[in-house]
Amino acid sequence: MVSIRLLGPPVVEIGGEAAKSPRGRKAWALLAYLLLAERPPSRRRLAELLFGDADDPLGALRWTLAELRRALGLRESFSGDPVRTDFGPGVTVDVLVLLDQDGEPAPLLELGGELLEGVNLASSHEFESWLLVARHRVSAMIEGRLRQAAARLLAEGRPKEAVLYAAKAVENNPLEEGNHELLVRGLTMAGDRAAALKQVAVCEDLMRRELGVKTSPALREATSIGSGSPMLPPLSGRAAAISQLHAGRAAIAAGAVAAGVQCLRTAVAEASRTGDAALKARAYCALGGALVHALQGRDEEGSLALHEAIVMAVASGERSVAVTAQRELGFVEVKAGRRLAATTWLTKAAAMAETDAEMAAIRGVLGQNTSDQGDYPAAIGHLEESVERAARCGDHKQHAWSLSILGRVHLMRDERSQAHTVLKQSLELTEEQRWMAFLPWPTALHAEIDLRMGDVAAAADGLERAWVLACQVEDPCWEGTAARGLGLLSRDRGDHASAARWLGQASSSCNRLPDRYQWVHANVLDATIACALDTGDHERARPLVTTLASLAARCDMREWVVRAHLHSARLGDRTALASARTLGAGIDNPALAALLR
């Protein structure tokens, strides 16, 4: 048995005992790259990446591969071109545990340290860029799995075990308020309210000191209100639960969100008293969906309700509820930039889906996820299927939503005519449905296309309308998107002071709540940096580039990783352009390719 540890100082154990490590830091660097690369790399690529300074790069690569075989006792591995790592069942790699979303979570509690801790190759700038991104990405994967384990244990009624995973998530990323909220909920459900209140105070002080922000009301409310705790006086019986469920859905559809959520909380409580698992599943799913979509800043509580819904749906055979809850959890993970967890939930939902409406919704979120990740061909495939299925089953809101994300893909690729056509359709459908809560999004995207195509008057009208609508519905994501567009409009008009104010507003808006949509945050950062660089304000741009690079790496938003490197090149980093070209080689985006040239 061979155990390879790449988290923390790298170590190899054979038969349970420490083995002699491979010689040279480049051996560890090569091993990590081979294990974590998206596809098997060619020998020439590896030689250029790690051994470009050697007299015989391919010869140095051959020697290092042989050294890995010797150290690991794996004589048949690391062969071929491209080089493959088919280890077989006798080899375990700690970092690959993260890829198994359905695996036993206990090993997560033992994982510690950053990827290849202490291993740095100053002579290989491209590898250093890759390693920095990989470290952020692996750290985010660990955090995502810890959160999933904690949420599942809470849904199963095992709060004391859940606290262990939530506490580890806080330890890994203490500046994420959602991790603290998950821990507070676990402590509250475990009956230790004093510890929960102490954790709230710790989080409030930390956020104030490190980020200069106040925590959301959801954090403190987590010490007393759970998903099943009604905020209205209890009624009685199954009929009352069903009545409150219908009333809650109707209120939310009418825009009375707070009243609707109160009704759904009561529906959950009443359904729990009846012992009807199917009714509980429907009530929990409705509450979870409302908290995620209709009530801002409540993704953590909504996720827990959706986990509860899945447990009840599986127990009662409520297939459609399980599909909806899994899709909604996938959407939460997409917003947060946790790609692996998102893909896992959406894949499970797709495997159970039977109707066009179900598949249209799932493909839409899959398209959003792959678009955010920078895999545009996959995104277009998912979104076009979603649009087709939504049109076929008459789901006009889903049709409009998926068209908007498809339009955003064309916008990113600077395919202006396609973007204009698709976003116009999305906007028309949204207006026909009088879907006011969503209207600011396609309005702002359509206005940005108008701006790129030179219709400044139409762009100004659209962006101002989007901003007013976004403020009316109090959606931070829509506000951030509209304010960003108004900043770009001001820049194109030559009013750089106004541009800076609007971009500052965009950043403030999209970061107002802890459960922000990370793609929008990155989009705002990118525009703010570009405008700062255009005016020669390098002091403002430099820390924002660092923030964008870190955010994009953690959330696996590959185009934003590349754009952060391009901004670094404009700031004078002589190695950044080469790194950008390396990291952007696999992204199919003509607009990005033009920038890299």
Q: Is residue 173 part of a domain?
A: yes
Burial class (CB in 10 A: 0-12, 13-18, 19+), 76: exposed
Q: Is residue 300 part of a domain?
A: no
Residue type, 87: F
Least confident of 77-91, 156-170, 199-213: 77-91
Tell me the torsion sign for CA atoms 134, 339, 438, 399: positive
187, 221, 255 - which closes a domain: 221
Q: Is residue 26 part of a domain?
A: yes
DSSP letters spanning 58-82: HHHHHHHHHHHHHHHT-TT-S-TTT
The pLDDT of residue 52 is 87
99, 124, 153 - which closes a domain: 99
The answer to whether residues 576 and 566 touch, using CB atoms and an 8 Å cutoff, is yes
How many distinct structural domains can be found in the chain?
Answer: 2
Read off the CATH number of the domain in which 19 is found: 1.10.10.10
Q: Is residue 30 part of a domain?
A: yes
Confidence band for 236, pLDDT divided at 50, 70 and 90: low
Q: Is residue 586 part of a domain?
A: no
Q: What is the pLDDT of residues 347-404, one digit of tens each?
A: 999 999 999 999 999 999 999 999 999 999 999 999 999 999 999 999 999 999 999 9
The pLDDT of residue 231 is 34
b/e map of 521-552 (b: 16 or more CB within 10 Å)?
bbbbbbbbbbbbbeeeeeeebbebbebbbebb
Interatomic CA distance for residues 289 and 273, integer angstroms:
21
Residues 7 and 95 in one domain: yes
Residues 146 and 89 in one domain: no
In three-state secondary structure terms, 1 is: coil
39: which DSSP letter? S
202, 221, 240 - which closes a domain: 221
The pLDDT of residue 27 is 92
Q: What domain range includes position 71?
A: 2-99
pTM check: above 0.75: yes
Interatomic CA distance for residues 560 and 548, integer angstroms:
7
Residues 75 and 10 in one domain: yes
For residue 59, count other CB atoms closer than 10 A to its CB: 12
In three-state secondary structure terms, 17 is: strand
Strand extents, DSSP E, 316-385: none
Q: Is residue 14 part of a domain?
A: yes
Interatomic CA distance for residues 225 and 381, integer angstroms:
42
The answer to whether residues 405 and 368 touch, using CB atoms and an 8 Å cutoff, is yes
Q: Is residue 179 part of a domain?
A: yes
Residues 45 and 93 in one domain: yes
b/e map of 30-42 (b: 16 or more CB within 10 Å)?
bbbbbebbeeebe
- Highest average pLDDT, of 67-76, 89-98, 351-360, comes from 351-360
Higher pLDDT pick, 5 / 548 = 548
The answer to whether residues 115 and 6 touch, using CB atoms and an 8 Å cutoff, is yes
- Highest average pLDDT, of 36-40, 49-53, 297-301, 553-557, comes from 553-557
Interatomic CA distance for residues 437 and 400, integer angstroms:
13
Read off the CATH number of the domain in which 166 is found: 1.25.40.10
The answer to whether residues 281 and 316 touch, using CB atoms and an 8 Å cutoff, is yes
* CA angle at 458 for the pair 453 and 461, rounded to the nearest 5°: 140
Residue among 13, 11, 18, 20 at smallest CA distance from 70: 20
Q: Is residue 410 part of a domain?
A: no
Confidence band for 581, pLDDT divided at 50, 70 and 90: very high
The pLDDT of residue 19 is 83
C-alpha distances in angstroms, 561 versus 415, 457, 547, 553, 556? 21, 33, 11, 6, 8
How many CA within 13 A on the CB side of residue 303? Answer: 30
